[in-house]
Amino acid sequence: MILIADCGSTKIDWCLLNGTEKVAQIFTTGMNALLMTEEEMTVRIKDELMPHLANYKIDEIYYYGAGIISDEIKQQVVNALKANIPTAVKIEVDSDLLAAARALCQRKPGIACIIGTGSNSCYYDGEKVVDNVSPLGYILGDEGSGAVLGKLLVGDVLKKQLPEHICQKFLEEYKLDRTKIIEAVYRKPAANRFLAQFAPFLERNMDVPEVRNVVFRSFTDFFKRNVANYKNYQELPCNFVGSIALKQKDTLIEAAQQLGITIGRIIQDPMEGLIKYHSTVQ
């Protein structure tokens, strides 16, 4: 049996396969391998996952996760998995970016992108990620992401760049003022998540031209500053996974078309694509 994990900082989606048949799907608390010790990951897997797997013999594990940035961190995750699932003869640990590439492109070359709370992209040759423009986070990069869209929205509200009724609507809806916003962004932790929570406000007000322009401009920046750096970017499909990409797909497609970029698949999350990838004979 094969166990696939799509791991984020908030939750982990585990899927157990017997050939091409989905045997079980389990959700546990997320793990960021960069921020957790091997011991902490071992305990979390034992406590939250293993009670669901008591009756299954697992042969292979494919784990894609947040914070997988070095071979040392990969090995820590491997060790945590092996300690709990000693029957596994193969354990592969890699980044969420490779998960997106495999889910979106399968075994064909393409450009794979993530646009959710943050954003990322890569050139995938059908086997591995061969080029990656660093996303740089929401302060220096992460164009198109929920955090950056929220940052642009808040900045435009406070600097009165949007229609007055939209500015007032935003502040009232979220019970915010300038002081509370400054406090949350500059003095409290997880400012990216604070800002990303405002992406739905943009979605609900896309009929306002100035609001739509915030989203369109950020997507255009994403293509220019990331996708346009990959070879053959106008010849290969540009594929997306993530909530923002899916909910704003019409605007995303329009921004791409203006730059001669062809959009391929847009999906909410990678699991179904990963199931197909790992259950298909090479």
Q: What is the pLDDT along the chain (282 residues), one digit of tens a residue?
A: 999 999 887 789 999 999 888 899 999 988 888 888 999 999 999 999 999 998 899 999 999 987 888 899 999 999 999 999 999 999 999 999 999 999 999 999 999 999 988 899 999 999 999 999 989 888 898 999 999 999 999 999 999 999 999 999 999 999 999 999 999 999 998 888 899 999 999 999 999 999 999 999 999 999 999 999 998 899 999 999 998 999 999 999 999 999 999 999 999 989 999 999 998 755
- Burial (CB < 10 A; 0-12, 13-18, 19+), residue 260, is exposed
Q: Look up the CATH number of the domain holding residue 269.
A: 3.30.420.40
Q: Are residues 116 and 241 located together in one domain of the fold?
A: yes
Contacts for 10 with CB less than 8 Å, ≥ 6 apart: 30
The tokens for 230 are: 């990959």
My answer on whether 12 and 123 are in the same domain is: no
Domain shared by 162 and 264, yes or no:
yes
| pLDDT at site 138 | 81
Q: Whole-angstrom Cα distance, residue 149 to residue 118?
A: 10
Integer angstrom CA distances of residue 238 from 21, 26, 257, 266, 278: 29, 30, 11, 9, 22
pTM higher than the cut 0.75: yes
Degrees, nearest 5: CA angle 26-30-36: 135
Of the residues 32, 54, 88, which one is the last residue of a structural domain?
Answer: 88
Give residue 47's pLDDT: 95
239 and 120: one domain?
Answer: yes
Looking at residue 149, its pLDDT comes to 96
Q: What is the pLDDT of residue 282?
A: 56
Whether residues 142 and 201 share a domain: the answer is yes
Q: Which domain holds residue 278?
A: 97-282
Token pair 């923002």 in the structure block, residue: 244
The pLDDT score that the predictor gives to residue 19 is 84
Please identify which residue in the block is written with the tokens 């940035």: 69
pLDDT at position 281: 57
Clarify whether residues 252 and 282 are in a common domain: yes
Rounded to an integer, what distance in angstroms lies between the CA atom of residue 154 and that of residue 176? 10
In a shared domain, residues 104 and 80? no
183 plus 282 within the same structural domain: yes
Specify the pLDDT at position 21: 87
56 and 182: one domain? no
Final residue in a domain of this structure, among 40, 62, 88: 88
HSE-CB at 277 with a 13 A cutoff on CA atoms is 22
- CA 2, distance to chain mean position in Å, is 23
Do 67 and 114 lie in one domain? The reply is no
What one-letter code names the amino acid at 174? Answer: Y
Task: Report the Cα 48 to chain-centroid distance in Å.
Answer: 23
Closest among 97, 139, 137 to 118, alpha carbons compared: 137
